[in-house]
Amino acid sequence: MNIMIVLIPAALFLAALGLCAFFWSLRAGQYEDLDGAAHRILITDEEDTPI
């Protein structure tokens, strides 16, 4: 059972990382335009166009 001493903090750390990432994305306004984000990936930038 000693492995739990390592595994529990590791699991909690990873989950907390996910929570922080969610808070960051919320604050960065990534939930402001969900439809637009879905469509914007379809737009080709002019520099990216192959010659």
Residues that bind another protein (CB under 8 A): 1, 4, 8, 11-12, 15-16, 18-19, 22-23, 26, 31-36, 39-40, 42-44, 46, 49
Q: How far is the CB of 27 from another protein (least distance, A)?
A: 8
Q: Are 34 and 28 in contact (CB under 8 A)?
A: no
Across 12-46, b (16+ Cβ under 10 Å) vs e yields eeeeeeeeeeeeeeeeeeeeeeeeeeeeeeeeeee
The minimum distance between CB 1 and another protein, in angstroms, equals 6
Q: How far is the CB of 39 from another protein (least distance, A)?
A: 4
